Amino acid sequence: MVPVRVEALRPALFSDDKMIVLGALDELGDLLRQKEVDSASLPLLIPFLTDQDGEIRRSASWNIGKLAQNRSIDRMDIGPLLVALKDADAEVRENAAWALGELAGMSVGERDSLPLLIDLLKDDETQTRGMAAWALGRLAERMGLADESAMDPLRSLRTDRSQYVSKTADWALERILPLLARPSAEE
């Protein structure tokens, strides 16, 4: 059941007025910061990941990331987040990567996310590159998911102009390398 405070936001979330929708998404974000929202609010957010308005997509993707960070999602079809990894807006891509990394902490994730996150390692935006590296490290560390094709892009990020990106790439490599060094079950 959706908590009463979130349920009260439903009419505003589905308003035709962008400012009212953004206000409701901001209120939902405040509830998330206070950890007063559970996974029942997730279905309310998913449709906003494909909204025509970038501001709405940014807010919805942040809220989903925060739900995951709060460990308020027990299961999720990550397909909408995979689509968001290809969004035209860098902040939406970054938030989607953050959400995937947080979900990995709850053993929610799929191998299908790896190639998309690896592609984001080449993103023009510093924060997006760093978050993609972090999410790859989390998927390796928490779910044992890694792909050899991440190695060269992560290694190249070790010399990124951003210290955040270079340190995060190092961190991800430390988690991925041991997985790739293990003999496969087929051998």
Domains and CATH numbers, the chain: 1-110 (1.25.10.10), 117-182 (1.25.10.10)
| Distance separating alpha carbons of residues 123 and 138, to the nearest angstrom | 19
Q: Cα–Cα distance between 173 and 134 in angstroms, integer?
A: 10
pLDDT of 113:
96
Nearest to 66 by CA among 40, 28, 104, 93: 28
SS3 letters across the chain: CCCHHHHHHHHHHCCCCHHHHHHHHHHHHHHHHCCCCCHHHHHHHHHHHHCCCHHHHHHHHHHHHHHHHCCCCCCCCCHHHHHHCCCCCHHHHHHHHHHHHHHHCCCCCCCCHHHHHHHHCCCCCHHHHHHHHHHHHHHHHHHCCCCHHHHHHHHHHCCCCCHHHHHHHHHHHHHHHHHHHCCCCCC
Distance CA 98, CA 185 (A): 30
pLDDT at 1: 41
Residue-level pLDDT at 80: 96
CA–CA separation, 166 and 86 (whole Å): 22
Tell me the pTM.
Answer: 0.91
Residue pair 140/176 in contact by the 8 Å Cβ criterion: yes
Task: List per-block mean pLDDT (blocks of 10 residues) for the chain, which spans 187 residues.
Answer: 70 94 93 85 92 97 94 88 97 98 93 97 97 98 96 97 98 96 61
